Amino acid sequence: MAETMVEELIEEAQGRRLARRLAVRELRARRALAGFAAALLVTAFGGVAAIELMAGALGSGVHPVPGVAPVVELLRRHSWDDPDVLATSGAVAALGAAFLLAALPGRLRGVPLAGADPRLAGVVGRAALRRTIAAAALEVPGIERVRVRGLGIFRRGILVRAATDYRNPANLADLVHEAVDERLDRIEPMHRPPVDVRLGWRKD
């Protein structure tokens, strides 16, 4: 009996890992066009450089690639420490790095949901999740206004700013935190974001 339970737990954990991988692969923006353009440019420049280097190594005085001869002659008239050469090479390197970064996969289109079936991948939009959390906080008696921030590029957690007209809020912040946690339990995000509740109240 115990062995069966252990095997079921192992299979469930493996299923969750597969579901996470599927969600990341399916829900991440691929930027295929930028990736194809970057790969094409790298391949073209690499091929031209390889052909020219091979021709130079064989002692050929002719440039096999058309249009390369004027560029080579221009480069021969400048030294490596020439300011124009340094500025141009820096600009080309920065442009190439930006091109390659643009070709990398983007961030997930929303917040992936937990699931044990590796064949299914669900996601909820960040704005929709913030609205749902705000609605859960507003259900707490005494809460008048709620603003939810977070789930962006630089903030992985959730910041809930709630306001009440009470002069003595007592444990109202804890109640808001519990309501938000309960709503997240029902939504079941794949990666549970930390929640920070900040409560404002009347002080007059």
What tens digit of pLDDT does each residue of 41-98 get? Answer: 778 878 877 877 777 677 666 666 776 777 767 767 777 777 877 887 888 888 777 7
**CA separation for the pair 161, 178 (Å, rounded):** 14
| Residue among 190, 204, 49 nearest 129 (CA) | 190
> Do the strands 123-124 and 111-112 form a parallel or antiparallel pair, or are they unpaired?
antiparallel
Can you give the pLDDT at residue 192? 82
Q: Do the Cβ atoms of 116 and 19 come closer than 8 Å?
A: yes
pTM: 0.54
C-alpha dihedral sign at 170, 176, 182, 185:
negative
- Residue in the block written with tokens 């440019």: 41
DSSP annotation of 109 reads: S
Burial class (CB in 10 A: 0-12, 13-18, 19+), 129: buried
